[in-house]
A and B are shown apart, each in its own frame.
Chain A
Amino acid sequence: MRLIALGVLCALFGQAPFAAAAPTAAAPLTDPDALHVSAIELRGVTFSRRPALRARLDLRAGDQLDEAAVQEGRVTLLATGLFDAVTVRLAKGERRGQVRVIYACVERVTTSIEGMHLGHARPTNLWGGLELADLDPFGLGVRLDGGFVASGTQGGVQLGGGPRGLFGGRVGLHVRAHALFGDEPFVGPRGQGLADGARDHIDGDYRRLGLQAVLTAPVGAVSRLRFGLRGERVDATLPTDAWQIDPDGAQQPFEFNLNAGWLGAAELGIEYDSRNDPAFPSRGIRASVHGRAGWLGGPFSAVLAGFENFIRLPFGHVLQINLRAGAVFGDAPFFERWFIGDLHPYIPERSLGLNFARRRGPNLLDGSIDEQRYETVAGRLGFEYRVPLKRRTAADPYAVELFIGAAAISLGTPGERGAVDALDPGLPLDVAVDAGLRIESKIGVMGLSLGNLFLVVDP
């Protein structure tokens, strides 16, 4: 009977019952002889990486041996993302009571494809791009990344890098340069055109060359502060005879919301991430609040917040509740505002800051979301229900989950609708539903969803 109960408990809780039954099971065996560390060796590690990695270990030569600290060092090394495997053992030192701590490491391929940009939508036939990163390509503790995206009319490239650990591995610095050559397909709320007549969109030619530096510092175990500075040169060639039709039906000069000149901006944010897994979380919270202030022909600022809560349900199912909200104030250029593609899964999101599609929101609620493009106030409240089809285990890194999600989306600029608000109070509100599969494998994580289809199919 006891074994039946044991089996049932194991099936329900994995190995937890045993851990609960014997809380001291993980404790090291006591050693009557106090051992001291005479040296710490990192084997299988590129020579240039060793000083930085050694600094991260909570072990020093001459210290009394602390088994927990030695085992924690193994986890610390694996947490860098530089190694496939790390084993640790002791070896005799020069004198009785002295030991050398030897970490035997197997370095891994640290290059990754951080993102793929591929899409097809009017007026751009096809666009594509790639973002690559390497945690430490030269073994110097410096991360490098870069990316590009291009179509027949637009293109962008960015290159970045920086030390992964300043001040003993606690603080990260990342510097990135970007060059964007945009040809934004601007659309007005209810139509647009030039002096010679209506057009499907207005081409807005602009260039952005800039540099950004971001400093990140951990706050506690699961939070980090982020501080960034950015400088850009913005140039634009915009048609002077462009017009747009406002929600109230009035025709007026097109509002490009783009000033040429020098842009300077500073940002400060805090991010919290207590998820139990970065790819397939089943519990925890991920949240962030960012503030941004800048100048481009006039002052602008922004406040942005995001929240995701993962709740574990019976049968291994997971419910995720997500909320995003933001407001932009002042004379912000269009690329600093909320874009419909940032919120809506059926609109291609910006790739490296470039938008290639003139698609409007589908407007399933028959509101006024299809008139919104680059706006100052945005909100989104959604949920996602996840059903694991295959779980990742210690022996098998493959995992598959089915998800279905829905969200209410709102995007607008207060006062923009003017007099029409009284006559037509249609809210800029829409709903979106997405469903698909997420897969984790030995070569990374990927998703296939209804939203993906709308990247290549332009209805």
Chain B
Amino acid sequence: MTGWLLAAALLAAPALSPPAPWAERDGEQVRVSIDLRAWFAAPDTPDATSLRERLTSGLTTRLRFWLELRDRDGALAGVALRRVRVRWHLWDERFTTVIEDDAGARTPTFKTADELIAGIAQFERWSVGPVPRSASVYRVEAVLELNPVTADQAVRMRRWLASPQTSASLDPLGGGLLGSFVRFFDNIKPGPVEDRRVHRGPWFRADRLPYVTREAPTP
């Protein structure tokens, strides 16, 4: 039944978002398969285009793919990570990469963006952790973080907020020490990463996951 639900969700997913993740059970492990290439497709939306373009920025682009298993409260029940550093060599017109994940570290090169994306954005039966014992429902979240900044850099990007020129009163700190204050402004949006994408799968009962076979269950 769970497999049917996942398949239905896969068919119903919008064309530009990745298909729903496939979760299955391999002994005591939850394994997840997902194809995230749609995030890098070059369709009409400017965001998706820019993500693809950033791979060819000529600078080292850092990507972190997280496959997470979360319960209804958002608590983490399992996780897997792939880290990728990729650089497009402007004059040689090739991609060099460093890929680090559970399979180890490797340094393949790619001639085209499509080859690169196929090499880094597909996950086949990735172990995200042991099958949760409880009868709660879970779902798979795939997260992509692009070019994470350091904590110091993130602080610097918001520091301008801390130094308004208006504190000219006797009080050197001012600003409502016990909390009565208000400032309205177009709040700066950059966060600890340059870009972040999240794709969530459907809810499922971990104890009812299908085993490693992918065939639909016979009625």
Contact = CB atoms under 8 A, between A and B. Distances in A.
Asked if A pairs with B, the answer is yes
Interface of A: 3-4, 6-7, 10-11, 15, 18, 22, 25-26, 28-29, 31, 33, 35, 67, 70-72, 75, 78-81, 84-92, 96-97, 99, 108-116, 131, 133, 135, 143, 145, 147, 160, 162, 174, 176, 212, 214, 224, 269, 271, 273, 275-279, 286, 288-290, 302, 304-306, 308, 322, 324, 326, 336-339, 342, 345, 350, 353, 380, 382, 384, 392-395, 397, 403, 405, 407, 432, 434, 436, 438, 440-447, 449, 451-452, 455
A432 B178 CA distance: 10
Contacts of A67: 59-60
A92 B91 contact: yes
A84 B155 contact: no
B116 to A, nearest CB: 13
A160 B196 contact: no
B193 A3 contact: no
A87 B194 contact: yes
Given A31-B87, A31-B89, A75-B153, A445 B196 contact: no
Contacts of A92: 90-91
Contact of A174 (B76, B158, B165, B170): B165
Given A4-B130, A84-B188, A276-B155, A338 B87 contact: no
A29 B86 CA distance: 8
Contact of B177 (A322, A393, A452): A322
B179 A436 contact: yes
B183 A114 contact: yes
Contacts of B185: 111-113, 443-444
Contacts, number: 256
B183 A115 contact: yes
A84 B188 CA distance: 6
Contacts of B78: 3-4, 7
Contact of A395 (B62, B90, B171, B191): B191
Interface size class of B (residues with CB under 8 A): 35 or more
Contacts of A350: 169
B216 interface: no
Which of B80, B183, B198 has the largest number of chain A CB atoms within 10 A? Answer: B183
Nearest to B29: A3
Contacts of A345: 178, 180
Instruction: Give the dominant DSSP class at A's interface.
Output: strand
Contacts of A449: 178-180
Given A79-B160, A87-B54, 17 more contacts: A10-B76, A33-B91, A84-B188, A84-B189, A89-B57, A91-B90, A112-B183, A112-B184, A113-B184, A145-B166, A345-B178, A392-B191, A438-B179, A440-B187, A444-B183, A444-B185, A451-B178
Interface in B58-116: 58-60, 62, 64, 75-81, 83, 85-87, 89-92, 96, 98, 100
B90 A22 contact: no
A91 B91 CA distance: 10
B189 A397 contact: yes
A31 B129 CA distance: 37
Nearest to A75: B153
9 contacts: A29-B96, A79-B157, A89-B54, A112-B185, A112-B186, A115-B181, A277-B158, A322-B177, A434-B180
B190 interface: yes
B183 A445 contact: yes
Contact of B62 (A26, A85, A305, A392): A26
A26 to B, nearest CB: 7
A259 B66 CA distance: 68
B206 interface: no
A447 B180 contact: yes
Contacts of A4: 78, 129-130
Nearest to A131: B166
Among B148, B176, B192, residue most surrounded by chain A Cβ atoms (within 10 Å): B176
Contacts of A99: 58, 90
B78 to A, nearest CB: 5
B168 interface: yes
A337 B169 CA distance: 10
Contacts of A337: 170
A378 B96 CA distance: 64
B171 A324 contact: yes
Contact of A279 (B57, B58, B90, B161): B161
A277 B160 CA distance: 10
Given A67-B60, A278-B162, A382-B178, A108 B153 contact: no
A286 B163 CA distance: 12
Contacts of A78: 157, 188, 190
Contacts of A89: 53-54, 56-59
A310 B149 CA distance: 23
A3 B127 contact: yes
Contact of A455 (B75, B85, B180, B198): B180
A79 to B, nearest CB: 5
Contact of A3 (B50, B79, B188): B79
